[in-house]
Structure 1
Amino acid sequence: GGEHARRSSLLNSDELLFCYYDDVRTAYDIFQRGVQVSNNGPCLGVRKPNQPYEWISYKEVSDRAECVGSALLHRGFKPSRVQYVGIFSQNRPEWVIIEHGCYAFSMVVVPLYDTLGTEAITYIVNKADLSLVFCDKPDKAKLLLTSVEKGETPVLNTIVIMESFGMDLVERGKKCGVEVFSMREIEELGRAHRQKPMPPKPEDLAVICFTSGTTGNPKGAMITHQNIVSNASAFVKTTEKTFMPSSDDVLISFLPLAHMFERLVEVSSSCTELLRSLLFLQNACLLNPSDTCYSFLTLAHVYESLRIKVLTNKVCLIYLVFTIFGQADTSLKRWMLDFASKRKEAELRSGIVRNNSFWDKVIFRKIQASLGGKVRFMITGAAPVSASVLTFLRTALGCQFYEGYGQTECTAGCSLSLPGDWTAGHVGAPMPCNIIKLVDVQEMNYLAAKGEGEVCVKGPNVFRGYLKDPEKTAEALDKDGWLHTGDIGKWLPNGTLKIVDRKKHIFKLAQGEYVAPEKIENVYLRCEALAQVFVHGESLQAFLVAIVVPDPETLCNWAKKKGFEGSYEELCKNKDLKKHILEDMVRIGKESGLKSFEQVKDIAVHTEMFSIENGLLTPTLKAKRPELRKYFQSQIDELYANAKM
């Protein structure tokens, strides 16, 4: 495993975990086990806003899935590891039905993100040679037809639409050589020409997950059935002694199903007796206090309105409490919230997690009720959560709350909190399916001998490579099978891993200093007045500049303390206030140990949040640095020009 490699303490030998159940080796096996142990219980549920959930049983899902797969075979598709099927849809039962229809006949699923953009969708269709794509809405079918009409995706010849549509789409498709079917037509075709399942082997491809990427075109990570099963098994192994799922538990699907983290959590639930997966439409209300079925919650964001703040370390404990309660408006209430949190934090440090303490009854019950009152288990990953936010959520919700770390290239996770360790500020220990080592990054002064370096992962959960891209594959996977993540990690004394930096985004300034902008951004985000920061530097410039987005929730109060008043927009245009913001950033930078060349020399204030919609964040809320640089090029040029005057 290498000089600095570490494995999970849950393993009894050096052999890594490939599967939890001997009869479960593929994603197809996982679902079949669910059918068996559920006794045809409820499998998928969905509801519209303010409507009751409607459930589909395991047997019905299995039956419809086999019909979909049979229809594809009847139309000439092959049960093959190189037979790719596109799914261009938001989360809904049909997504899972199509997925398992593909698995039943050894075909490969290629999910398409809603937010990838037209160019990326066209790129994926061509890269994966997708002749057929399932769409949830007619608008997406129209987008695909437009690309065919322009000659951009000549390989695409079949579109299946889940929702109702007009005959105009069928006629439009005929004119450019594309057949358009409804989901019902496909299922009926399969039912009329039913085939016996042809299951995959563990080493066969299951999913090609195109990572959104922060640079260039998306890369198609090739994920095998063995990758999925080993990663899911490791999750179950980690939690087996402290969390016992039952048929009454419900999994809430929130992240896009195209995201491997979401897929892994759902697969893991099927590995055990956690038998229901709750799917809901994009416009359904997630956090409705009247819903009481929530007992297993996948967490990407606690509340959509707090999404950016949580992921950028901007929610302090009291601020989050105020947001949820909406009524902590007196000194006494603030004191009680703070006191109650400290009491429960003390229990956490002792490994105690509960929701029936005195403080739960008098302080935290409302927060627990806002999630339905029955949450037993939560997990967060895909983007960092600050220690204060994670600690608060653990105290307030009183449920087991795990944090993991990983990336699509290791299927989903490679490290996870250990049961009983509810400390924050790290991403847990290696999972039982992989080993982790840190390797030197000398240009950033991170040395493995000191317990620091680039995080590298090896095990059965590590992907096969990028689709038709040997050059990028060689960059990610070395000759010994180690995945180089590009993240900088540090081993803590208790054996857990802390992510401290990012290797891939470092650059060199004019005088030769190496700079890691994401580390600097995370420091500046501690400024009370700021919501988002983009730090920029160039090899021909001797210093850094930044684009900052003030926090609409806190700017006015912060400015008032400095003697400024006005609306959010007025304050953002105030040059004197900008100086105060820069001074605050530099102060916090010094307190956090930033070197002088790591401090920004000037800033431009921007009023619109970086978002998925404006193309500045990826679908997993990571900064798209090339797009940010291009978007703010004029402001960046002006900052450098003014500095030279």
Structure 2
Amino acid sequence: MASDSAKGASRTHVRVHEWASLLRQAEALGLSEEGRAGPQKVLLASERGGIFPQLSSDSVSVEDDKLFALMMTSGSTGSPKAAMFTDRMWTVDTGHAMYMPNYRNVSFIPLSHSSDLMRTFETLLNGGCTGFARYDSTGTAVEDLIEDVGMLRPAMIVAPPRVWNCLYEKFQRRLREGEGREKEIERLNEDFRNMMGGRLQVVCTGGAPTAQRVMEWLEGTFSCGVLESYGATECGAIATNGVVEAGVQVQLRALSEGRGGAVTDSSVAPPSFGEVMVKSPNLFAGYLDLPALTRECFDAEGWYATGDLGRLDSEGHLSCVGRVKHTFKLSSGEYYYPDELEKLYEGAEGVNAVCIHGEPCEATVIAICVVNTNCGLSDHEILKAFQKRGKEADKKSFEIPGGVICERHMERTMENGMLTMSLKI
């Protein structure tokens, strides 16, 4: 007779076994199409989800919470680390019962992005299917991805801001080349919906802040739900469109002197701005072979320190504005948060990317930006546009650039060190 621990381990993977059984049924019905290759095989495989019955919605009991997988962090804030995912964490995050007949998801960076990998498992375990699209860091990366998405015709796609920014710029170039703005926008919206397969129901962005202009464009162009997801490899999803996920607890830890601001007495009132601290059923088990670093990630009460700067409004909506490590002090004694400012100034016309920089001996910041090659604005005109946006957003004088450096021939790629494997800067 099997031991209790063996039974628990077996129940942990019951969904995987059930899925494998259904695949064998599909092959028995002649749906495997073994003789086909390339995109055509992917397209035929994507039809399989519709024949499967609904999977069991019973929760999986895990008695022996063993190591299930290792997921590398992006390395955007230091050397990549191997985060340990246990059976329980993986089951909680991928075990949602939501039957998805003919549901198609697109995956293109599952080994570099934990949410991509988990959504792939979740889709398969709930009767849907996933197509794997091409993506690398060369100049044709986004074009290849768009071509594959068009063939796969997904209902949902999750991608980092870099992908949506490139698609947005492509739209703007086409718009500038056209005639009659209102009719051109209507025609381009239809072209871009068809370009992405014409079946999108949900567009999700995450991994880094997405410019508001891009979010509004996605919603208007694809006429579907647009979600901005905030989370971390170590604790899974934290909030979607500012709404904290069910089962997740969030509080903000006041910043101490030297970490970006004055000390706030949290015993009087919880701070509305500070480091995002999380308790979640999806918390990782620690970093492999790095016990000291693992201990540093948690406070005495078991809250995980994300290292992110966040704001909570009066209704409890959470917004991430940057990283604690990315907090700097100017000669005036004022602290500034470059991530938040960069998101604001990237909305300026003709600007693809912005880096806000400040020196301890200076009283204001400067903007280093990558300008669209088709942009006809001078450096002075771009600076004036930044200053106008800063004033309209009620930014303080030291948060408004006093100078600008424009680069017109630079791309963000993994080869030149501008992007990590998960497409973060």
Judge same fold: TM > 0.5, yes or no: yes
Q: 1:390 aligns with which of 196, 207, 215?
A: 215
Alignment-derived partner of residue 417 in structure 2:
615
What is the alpha-carbon distance in structure 1 between the residues aligned to residue 401 and residue 371 of structure 2?
16
Does the aligned pair in 1 maintain the 2:134–2:148 contact within 8 Å?
Answer: no
- Any unmatched runs of 5+ in structure 1? 1-21, 59-199, 338-361, 417-426, 560-576, 624-645
1:36-435 aligned at under 5 Å gives the runs: 36-37=21-22, 40-41=25-26, 48=38, 53=43, 55=45, 203-233=65-95, 236=96, 240=98, 244-246=99-101, 248-274=102-128, 276-282=129-135, 285-288=144-147, 293-300=152-159, 307-309=164-166, 315=168, 322=172, 328-333=178-183, 337=186, 364-410=189-235, 412-416=236-240, 427-435=241-249
CA distance in structure 2 between the partners assigned to 1:254 and 1:202 by the alignment: 32
2:9, 2:70 → 1: CA distance? 24
Deviation at 1:596, TM superposition (A): 2.2
Query: Which residue of 2 is the match for residue 476 of structure 1?
Result: 297
CA distance in 2 between partners of 1:47 and 1:323 (Å): 35
Instruction: Give the aligned partner of residue 253 of structure 2.
Output: 439
Distance 1:29 1:444, change over 3 A: farther
CA distance in 2: counterparts of 1:619 and 1:327, whole angstroms: 34
Alignment of 1:507 with 2:328, yes or no, is yes
Q: Partners in 2 of 1:369 and 1:476 — Cα distance?
A: 45
Partner of 2:16: 31
Taking the aligned partners of 1:25 and 1:258, their CA distance within structure 2 comes to 28
The answer to whether the 8 A contact 1:44-1:57 is kept is no
Q: Deviations over 1:503-541 (max 9, x none)?
A: 221022234322212122222212213221222234355
CA contact (8 A) 2:213 2:347 kept: no
SS at match of 2:278: strand
**Residue identity opposite 2:208 in structure 1:** A
Instruction: Kindly state the Cα deviation for residue 43 of structure 1 after the two structures are TM-superposed.
Output: 8.8
Query: 1:536-584 CA deviation, whole Å, 9 max, x = no partner?
Result: 234355443332211224x12xx2xxxxxxxxxxxxxxxxx32332232
Per the alignment, in what secondary structure is the counterpart of residue 208 of structure 2? coil
Alpha-carbon distance in structure 2 between the residues aligned to 1:430 and 1:35: 34
Distance 1:54 1:387, change over 3 A: same
Rg larger for = 1
Q: C-alpha separation between the residues in 1 aligned to 2:158 and 2:132? A: 14
Alpha-carbon distance, 1:330 to partner: 0.8
CA distance 1:298–1:587, shift in 2 (3 Å):
same
Q: Residues 277 and 23 from structure 1, CA distance in 2 versus in 1: closer, same or farther, beyond 3 angstroms?
A: farther
Inter-partner Cα distance in structure 2 for 1:289 and 1:211: 27
User: In structure 1, what residue type is equivalent to 2:116?
Assistant: E
Counterpart check, 1:591 vs 2:392: yes
Is the 2:103–2:154 contact (alpha carbons within 8 Å) kept by the matching residues of 1?
A: yes
Which residue of the other structure, out of 395, 405, 411, is the alignment partner of 1:604?
405
How many Å apart are 1:273 and its aligned residue? 2.4
Question: Structure 1 residue 38: deviation in Å?
Answer: 5.2
CA–CA distance in 1 between the matches of 2:18 and 2:40? 33
Structure-2 separation of matches of 1:534 and 1:428: 24
Determine if contact 1:289/1:372 at 8 Å carries over to the other structure: no
Residue 614 of structure 1 and its aligned partner are, at CA, apart by 0.6
Q: Secondary structure at the match of 1:40?
A: helix
**Higher relative contact order (Cα pairs below 8 Å, separated by 6+ residues):** 1
Q: TM-score, normalised by structure 1?
A: 0.52
In structure 2, the residue matched to 1:526 is 347
- What secondary structure sits across from 2:418 in the alignment? coil
CA separation in 2, counterparts of 1:290 and 1:588? 35
Q: CA deviation at 1:408?
A: 0.7
Tell me how far apart the structure 2 counterparts of residues 363 and 579 of structure 1 sit (CA, whole Å): 32
Structure 1 residue 400: deviation in Å?
4.0
Task: State how 1:617-636 maps to structure 2 within 5 Å.
Answer: 617-623=419-425
Alpha-carbon separation, structure 2, partners of 1:522 and 1:366: 28
The answer to whether the 8 A contact 1:377-1:401 is kept is: yes
SS in 2 for 1:203: coil
Q: Secondary structure at the match of 1:488?
A: strand
| AA aligned opposite 2:132 | L
SS of 1:384 mapped into structure 2: coil
Secondary structure at 2:71's aligned position in 1?
A: strand
Cα distance, 1:25–1:542 mapped onto 2, change above 3 Å: farther
Residues 585 and 437 of structure 1: is their aligned pair in 2 closer, same or farther, counting only changes over 3 Å?
same
Instruction: Summarize the Cα distance change of 1:428–1:435 in structure 2 as closer, same or farther, 3 Å threshold.
Output: same
Match of 2:52 in 1: none
Deviations 1:576-601 (A, max 9, x none): x3233223222322222222222333
Deviation at 1:264, TM superposition (A): 1.0
| Contact 1:378 1:402 survives alignment (8 Å) | yes
Q: Which amino acid aligns with 1:31?
A: V
SS in 2 for 1:414: strand
Change (3 A) 1:483 1:529: same
Residues of 2 paired with 1:531 and 1:278: CA distance?
29
How far the C-alpha of 1:267 sits from its partner, in A, is 1.7
Q: Residues 43 and 259 of structure 1: is their aligned pair in 2 closer, same or farther, counting only changes over 3 Å?
A: farther
The one-letter code of the counterpart of 2:339 is E
Contact in 1 for aligned 2:353/2:371 (Cα 8 Å): yes
How far off its partner does 1:621 sit? 3.1
Amino acid across the alignment from 1:333: K
Instruction: Report the Cα offset of residue 461 of structure 1.
Output: 0.4
Task: Give the 3 Å change call, closer, same or farther, for CA 287–603 of structure 1 in structure 2.
Answer: closer
Opposite residue 380 of structure 1, the aligned amino acid is: T
- Write the deviation string for residues 201-242 of structure 1: whole angstroms up to 9, x where unpaired: 752222222213234322222222222221224xx37xx5xx
Question: Per the alignment, do residues 32 and 431 of structure 1 end up closer, same or farther by CA in structure 2, a change over 3 Å counting?
Answer: farther
> Is contact 1:610-1:617 (8 Å) kept?
yes
Q: Which amino acid aligns with 1:508?
A: K
Unaligned runs of 5+ in 2: 1-7, 49-61, 137-142
Q: Cα gap change, 1:539/1:217 in structure 2, threshold over 3 Å: closer, same or farther?
A: same
Local SS of the residue matching 2:368: strand
> What secondary structure, in the 3-state scheme, does the structure 1 residue paired with 2:146 have?
coil
What secondary structure, in the 3-state scheme, does the structure 1 residue paired with 2:237 have?
coil
**Partners of 1:281 and 1:363 in 2: how far apart?**
24
Distance 1:617 1:596, change over 3 A: same
- Contact 1:520–1:594 (CA under 8 A) maintained in structure 2: no
With over 3 angstroms needed to count, the CA separation of the structure-2 counterparts of 1:389 and 1:581, relative to structure 1, is closer
Identify the match of residue 535 of structure 1 among 344, 353, 356.
356
